[in-house]
């Protein structure tokens, strides 16, 4: 075997190994789905949500603010309604579960004596005829100190 043949043979083996590694990666990525580093990034292939509905706080004056801007939480119910109950009450909505958990943890970790009445709401945003339209869906009554 000449030097040139040996070089071609090594290149062919390297090429086959490279294609084999790529094929194995793709099979594993689709099998495991969402485990780094085998991630297929399918969130970019999903259609955009028709609506989004983050949790928020509406005070007695009707002003809406983020849950994290308040402390001293005291709620009538020890836990907020489940997602299924909220969906039944507010209609079909798109939420970010991790964000909801963070907000609910904030309420639990910053509990207190309350004082000012507020409502925890879902502010439901939809695009209608090219314009953003929102409506509020109250899901719990609480009190906050600030």
Q: Which tokens sit at 119?
A: 């409502």
Q: What is the pLDDT of residues 82-131, one digit of tens each?
A: 666 666 777 777 777 788 888 888 998 998 898 899 999 988 888 878 88
CA dihedral sign of residues 99, 100, 101, 103: positive
Give me the pLDDT at residue 45, please: 66
What predicted TM-score, i.e. pTM, was given to this entire model?
Answer: 0.62
Identify whether 37 is preceded by a cis peptide bond (ω within 30 of 0): yes
Q: What is the largest CA-CA distance in the chain?
A: 89
Domain ranges of the chain: 3-44, 51-144
Task: Give me the percent of the chain exceeding a pLDDT of 70.
Answer: 78
Write down the H helix ranges in 33-96. Answer: 83-90
First to last CA, the chain: 83
Q: Is residue 80 a contact partner of residue 142, using CB atoms and an 8 Å limit?
A: no
Q: Tell me the C-alpha distance between 114 and 136, whole Å.
A: 22
**141 forms bridges with which residues in the sheet?**
119
For residue 53, what is the DSSP state? -
């Amino acid at each position: 075997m000449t030097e040139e043949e040996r070089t071609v043979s090594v290149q062919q083996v390297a090429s086959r190994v490279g294609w084999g590694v790529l094929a194995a990666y793709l099979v594993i990525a689709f099998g495991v789905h969402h485990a780094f580093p085998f991630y297929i990034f399918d969130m970019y292939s999903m259609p955009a949500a028709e609506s989004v509905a983050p949790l928020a706080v509406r005070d007695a004056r009707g002003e809406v603010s983020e849950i994290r801007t308040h402390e001293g939480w005291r709620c009538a119910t020890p836990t907020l309604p489940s997602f299924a109950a909220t969906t039944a009450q507010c209609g079909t909505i798109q939420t970010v579960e991790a964000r909801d958990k963070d907000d609910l943890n904030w309420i639990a970790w910053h509990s207190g004596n309350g004082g000012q009445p507020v409502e925890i709401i879902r502010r439901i945003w939809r695009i209608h005829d090219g314009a953003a339209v929102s409506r509020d869906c109250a899901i719990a009554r609480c009190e906050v100190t600030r």
